[in-house]
């Protein structure tokens, strides 16, 4: 294939995919910047009436409910993404119980609620809260990260599990922070999914990394905008010429626009390619290939931590019958003896848990655990090792080969009332298990009080779920196809720049004498006048550029 033919194909591959992907790239960039700073935007909500139908609550779907807790014989609390609601008639009617939480639905995203020493404690996405004598929720200072993974009780001790540490408290006010011992056979490595996740967000290098990724978002918006301008400029200039109107100013702006599009593009292209490649693998189907892969930890990064459980802890139960802690982690289930001084032992059998972690973890009977995640809902017998699929009503059999990180039954929550038990599928909402439990429709009051946080709206945009109504099940291909298109644009654009600009034309010899040689080099449509001394004639290194002549 001739060079000219190859350049023509590359221009086509760069031009049209760039036009198609420009608007989507801008959506990726804006939503990514919001997602990178959850705490800053936690007080901002978006009405669900402004969003597509699949983003609205129906039958308690979309992880509206995670669990419930009985306060006494007549009162229970139900909690989840909707906050905390009180019921006194076995989940028939509900009263708002969110007084005291900061503004913004994201500040009442509840993972767990427990009752301890006549106080209620709620573990949320953004901190630990307590409620004494029903006077409203107050934030508790725990002197560590705010994201609470789970809460539990061990006799007269409150257990608070963050993503990194276990905290113990005897009074609900002061906390002992404990780093768990490493597991048996510990090797300092992490999941490839976690590495890609933190690489894509920039969190791999902490706040500076996040700010760099924010900058890449701004660069993406700039490149998309200048690409669209470059596409429309010729048409605008052509129309003005037909009307005999002045075009010189537009031509100059067009050249400047292309110049900076090229400069910014080649400076950031490698970073954009890496960020796009990592992001493509955070959604199915490419996620399937990395979900269970382990890799070494990159030295000096956020994951390079002496804590063997850094960002891995998810749920906790103190099992009184075996006198051991049972931990659900991103590495599987582990047992720990009471003193928490010996290495943690992995469970010899493991129920399936989605890469997104456990949503349900309860002990209904001695040696029997209820485990729910986006991989399904199961009974797990730790003595026999058996795992029973509650929904399909059959023993669980692990599939062979690679499998989707999400199952057909995506358990987002579970509650138990006097008349039976209900589990909540992420998409389908309420699903009865054994008995006739007439769970009510979602009250309008709860729907109105539960908008979508700006962070979650950004997540819907970033993952493509917001387009599910238009694309149907094919929306799952939105992220990988958009990623491939972006990679094509970045790579073809860099190759064109390299061929057309970096490999500069041979310098034009303007003046030659015995001491000085004067060259004109065409670089980005600008002639740079370069003076080289006699000793430097064979080098194209300029030590002096006195002026430049613009070419029309």
Is residue 32 situated within a structural domain? no
Same domain? For 362 and 494 the reply is: no
Query: What six digits make up the tokens of 202?
Result: 């920039």
Residues 544 and 420 in one domain: no
In a domain, 128, yes or no: yes
Question: Rounded to an integer, what distance in angstroms lies between the CA atom of residue 121 and that of residue 114?
Answer: 5
pLDDT at 256: 92
Coil vs helix vs strand at 212:
helix
Residue ending a domain, choose from 449, 467, 492: 449
For residues 289 and 314, state if they share a domain.
no
40 belongs to a structural domain: no
Provide the CA 293 distance to its chain's centre, in angstroms.
18
Domain-located, residue 546: yes
Decide which of 483, 503, 523 is a domain's last residue.
503
d(CA 68, CA 66): 7
Q: What is the pLDDT of residue 12?
A: 80
Using a CB cutoff of 8 Å and minimum separation of 24, what contacts does 337-342 make?
340/166, 340/178, 340/180, 340/181, 341/181, 342/181
Angle value at C-alpha 471, between 465 and 477, nearest 5 degrees: 65
Tell me the mean pLDDT per 10 residues along the chain, length 552: 71 83 95 96 95 93 96 95 96 96 96 96 96 92 92 97 97 95 93 93 95 97 93 85 82 90 93 96 90 89 92 96 96 96 95 93 95 97 95 88 79 89 94 78 95 96 92 90 94 84 52 46 44 43 40 37
pTM above 0.95, yes or no: no
So what's the pLDDT on residue 97? 97
| Residue with tokens 């959604």, as numbered in its chain | 283
Domain harbouring 83, CATH code = 2.130.10.10
Give yes or no: residues 90 and 193 share one domain.
no
- Which residues, including other chains, have CB under 8 Å from residue 2's CB and lie 6 or more apart? none
Handedness of CA 181, 186, 192, 195 (dihedral sign): positive
Assign 494 to helix, strand or coil.
Answer: helix
What per-residue confidence (pLDDT) applies to 1? 58
When computed from its CA atoms, the radius of gyration of the chain, rounded to whole angstroms, is 29
Whether residue 31 lies inside any domain: the answer is: no
Instruction: Please tell me whether residues 168 and 192 are part of one structural domain.
Output: no
194/275 same-domain check: yes
**Sign of the CA dihedral with 110 first, then 115, 117, and 119 last:** positive
Residues 130, 225 within the same domain: no
CA distances 106 to 51, 67, 80, 412, 523, Å, are: 17, 17, 11, 17, 51
Residue 27 lies in a domain: no
Tally of domains within the chain: 3
How many CB atoms neighbour CB 540 within 10 A?
12
Task: Sheet with 332-337: list strands edge to edge.
Answer: 313-319, 324-329, 332-337, 345-346
Question: 156 and 81 in one domain?
Answer: yes
Verify that 180 and 192 share a domain, yes or no. Answer: no
pLDDT of residue 2: 63
Do residue 153 and residue 118 come from a single domain?
yes
Beta bridge partners of 231: none
Pairwise CA distance, residues 124 & 106, whole Å: 9
Is 12 a member of any domain?
Answer: yes
Domain extent at residue 391:
58-186+308-449
Asked if residue 424 and residue 494 are part of one domain, the reply reads no
Statement to judge: residues 319 and 276 lie in one domain: no
Ramachandran sector of residue 158 (left: φ over 0; alpha: ψ -120 to 50; beta: rest): beta
Q: Does residue 373 contact residue 360 with C-beta atoms inside 8 Å?
A: yes
In whole angstroms, give the CA distance from residue 494 to residue 265. 7
In our burial notation (b when 16+ CB lie closer than 10 A, e otherwise), range 505-516 reads eebeeeeeeeee
* Domain final position from 485, 503, 521: 503
**Rounded to whole angstroms, how far apart are CA atoms 460 and 113?**
27
Q: Is residue 48 part of a domain?
A: no
- Pair type for strands 148-154 and 157-162: antiparallel
């Amino acid at each position: 294939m001739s060079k000219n033919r190859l350049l023509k194909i590359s221009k086509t591959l760069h031009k049209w995919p760039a036009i198609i992907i420009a608007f989507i790239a801008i959506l990726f960039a804006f939503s990514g910047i919001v997602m990178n700073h959850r705490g800053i935007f936690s007080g901002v909500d978006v009405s669900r009436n402004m969003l597509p139908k699949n983003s609205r609550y129906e039958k308690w779907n979309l992880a509206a409910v995670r669990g419930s807790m009985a306060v006494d014989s007549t009162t229970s609390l139900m909690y989840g993404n909707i906050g905390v609601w009180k019921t006194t008639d076995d989940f028939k009617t509900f009263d708002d119980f969110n007084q005291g939480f900061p503004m913004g639905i994201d500040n009442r995203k509840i993972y767990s609620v427990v009752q301890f020493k006549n106080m209620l404690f709620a573990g949320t996405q953004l901190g630990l809260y307590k409620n004494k004598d029903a006077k409203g929720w107050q934030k508790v200072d725990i002197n560590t990260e705010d994201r609470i993974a789970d809460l539990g009780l061990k006799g007269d001790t409150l257990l608070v599990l963050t993503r990194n540490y276990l905290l113990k408290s005897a009074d609900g006010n002061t906390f002992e922070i404990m780093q768990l011992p490493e597991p048996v056979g510990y090797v300092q490595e992490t999941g490839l999914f976690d590495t890609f996740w933190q690489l894509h967000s920039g969190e791999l290098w902490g706040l500076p990394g996040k700010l760099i990724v924010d900058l890449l978002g701004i660069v993406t918006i700039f490149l998309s905008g200048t690409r669209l301008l470059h596409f429309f400029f010729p048409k605008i200039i052509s129309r003005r010429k037909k009307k005999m109107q002045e075009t010189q100013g537009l031509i100059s702006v067009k050249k400047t626009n292309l110049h900076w599009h090229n400069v910014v593009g080649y400076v950031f292209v490698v970073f954009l390619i890496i960020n796009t490649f990592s992001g493509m693998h955070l959604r199915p189907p490419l996620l399937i290939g990395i979900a269970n892969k382990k890799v070494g930890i990159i030295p000096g990064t956020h994951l390079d931590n002496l804590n063997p459980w850094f960002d891995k802890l998810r749920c906790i139960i103190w099992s009184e019958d075996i006198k051991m802690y049972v931990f659900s982690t991103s590495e599987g289930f582990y047992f720990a003896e009471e003193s928490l001084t010996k290495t943690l032992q992995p469970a010899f059998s493991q129920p399936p848990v989605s890469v997104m972690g456990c949503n349900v973890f309860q002990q209904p009977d001695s040696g029997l655990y209820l485990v729910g995640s986006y991989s399904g809902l199961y009974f797990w017998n730790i003595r026999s090792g058996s795992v029973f699929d509650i929904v399909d009503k059959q023993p669980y059999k692990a599939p062979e080969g690679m499998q989707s990180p999400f199952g057909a039954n995506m358990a987002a929550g579970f509650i138990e009332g006097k008349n039976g038990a209900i589990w909540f599928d992420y998409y389908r909402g309420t699903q009865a298990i054994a008995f006739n439990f007439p769970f009510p429709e979602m009250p309008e009051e709860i729907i109105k009080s539960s908008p979508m946080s700006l962070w979650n709206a950004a997540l819907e945009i970033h993952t493509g779920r917001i387009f599910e109504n238009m694309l149907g099940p094919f929306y799952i291909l939105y992220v990988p196809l958009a990623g491939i298109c972006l990679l094509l644009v970045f790579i073809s654009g860099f190759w064109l720049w390299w061929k057309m600009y970096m490999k500069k034309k041979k310098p034009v010899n303007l003046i030659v004498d015995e001491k000085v040689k004067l060259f004109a080099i065409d670089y980005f449509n600008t002639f740079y006048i370069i003076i080289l001394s006699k000793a430097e004639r064979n080098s194209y290194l300029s030590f002096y550029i006195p002026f430049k002549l613009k070419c029309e």
